[in-house]
Amino acid sequence: MDPLGWGEIITRILIQFIPVWIALGLTFAVSVTFKRRLGLYGKLFDSVIGMFGFALVMFWVFTGIFGGGFGWIVTHDVLTQISGLKNKEPGIPVPDAEALGLYPYYLMGGDNLARDVFSRMIVGAWEVMKIAPFATLFAFMVGITLGLPAGYYGGRLDTFLSFLANLILAFPVILLFYLLVTPEIVLTGIPVYMAGVLFLFPIIFLTILFNSRFFTQPSKRNIYVALTLAIGFWVYLGIAWDADPLGLISFPPNLLVVFVAVVFVNSPTVFRIVRGLAMDIKTRDYVAAAQTRGEGPWYIMLWEILPNARGPLIVDFCLRIGYTSILLGTLGFFGLGLSPESPDWGSTINEGRKLLSIYLHPALPPAMALLSLVLGLNLLADGLREESLRD
């Protein structure tokens, strides 16, 4: 077979993404139809910038889910090496593809180990989606759980927690990130002990959340708190200590190290944002009204202050996912954190840049993918900021 032309390559790539186009179409159709009932998310569709950013982000979310999670988009196994296709150009035919039951082309060419660049780019999106959003969410739970009382109560508690946050932030972020994932630090077991502490915060946060909300309804409160503690500690044992009694939950050690590093590095910044918002909002009239009604401090913090701080926090959440994606790419570029054979974008860019002056195609697709995801997150944050200011 002859190599494909660029028109055929683009057409075949678009066909591979059919599940993503369908999911995007359905998401936009439902969202636009019911946008007036969807709060701040619905108002996002009144902003052209926000919609464009949302489309870019959701494109990679669906690509990660359908490609890396279900394997519908990928054309070849990301670790399979096919003889004769090392550093070959996009659209190159795969030898004996029909006999071997393989897709007949490498749509974006082969890398320096004769692996399919297109498939590795797709699965690389899944690697980002497995870490960046959830690690950022954990960091927000840590920052919110500590930042709200620091800003609300002030005094010695605020001084102590702010000192710890400033102590961590005194280190350059990237340097601290690198230190936490270096093999020497990993061998000491420090990341595991950090996971044991940091991963308790989501349980603490949700327990306090439900207890404060349903304090006057003991039967409902007890059910929510009991479910939170039971499910929370089950997941906690599996993720943090690899000790799930049912044997259903486990976390690869290298993934745990990266996850912990992201949470630890991002938490102090989130803490400072939440603390500042709490110090401002606690002076509002509706907080004074809640205090007059006799509401408890945690109810006021979680159900009066936090909802009114959602705009800046949602914007920062989107931006922080972008920062985390860049950090993950940087780690992969330097061969730290994830396993060496991982198809994450940073590792793929690093492998491709060694012959960048000769072959562009191995490094360019993952680099453009990372660029478009971070651009989408920034545009989404701009759209959310614009709409939250109107709210």
User: Residue 192 and residue 198: Cα distance in Å, rounded?
Assistant: 10
Inform me whether the pLDDT recorded for 57 exceeds 80: yes
Q: What is the pLDDT of residue 340?
A: 66
Statement to judge: residues 129 and 116 lie in one domain: no
Q: What is the pLDDT of residue 140?
A: 94
User: Residue 246 and residue 231: Cα distance in Å, rounded?
Assistant: 12
SS3 200: coil
CA distances from 314 to 42, 311, 385 (A): 14, 5, 8
Whether 314 is covered by a domain: the verdict is yes
Residue 334 vs residue 107, higher pLDDT? 107
Q: What is the pLDDT of residue 303?
A: 93
**What predicted TM-score, i.e. pTM, was given to this entire model?**
0.89
Inform me whether the pLDDT recorded for 289 exceeds 70: yes
Statement to judge: residues 270 and 146 lie in one domain: yes
Query: In which domain, by residue range, is 179 found?
Result: 125-321
Q: What is the pLDDT of residue 391?
A: 58
Whether 332 is covered by a domain: the verdict is no
Statement to judge: residues 86 and 36 lie in one domain: yes
Statement to judge: residues 150 and 217 lie in one domain: yes
Q: What is the pLDDT of residue 181?
A: 81
Statement to judge: residues 187 and 313 lie in one domain: yes
Which amino acid, residue 168?
A: I
Q: What is the pLDDT of residue 252?
A: 78
Average pLDDT over residues 225-235: 94
User: 123-154: per-residue pLDDT in tens?
Assistant: 999 988 888 899 999 999 999 999 999 999 98
Reading the block at residue 189, the tokens are 């077991």
CA trace torsion 28, 29, 31, 32 (10° rounding):
100
CA distances from 301 to 67, 144, 151, 229, 275 (A): 41, 10, 9, 21, 11
Whether 340 is covered by a domain: the verdict is no
Q: 337: pLDDT confidence band, cut at 50, 70 and 90?
A: low
Statement to judge: residues 180 and 267 lie in one domain: yes
Statement to judge: residues 118 and 134 lie in one domain: no
Neighbours of 153 (CB within 10 A): 14
Whether 159 is covered by a domain: the verdict is yes
User: 357-391: per-residue pLDDT in tens?
Assistant: 777 888 899 999 999 999 999 999 888 888 776 65
Statement to judge: residues 62 and 180 lie in one domain: no
Inform me whether the pLDDT recorded for 335 exceeds 80: no
Whether 333 is covered by a domain: the verdict is no
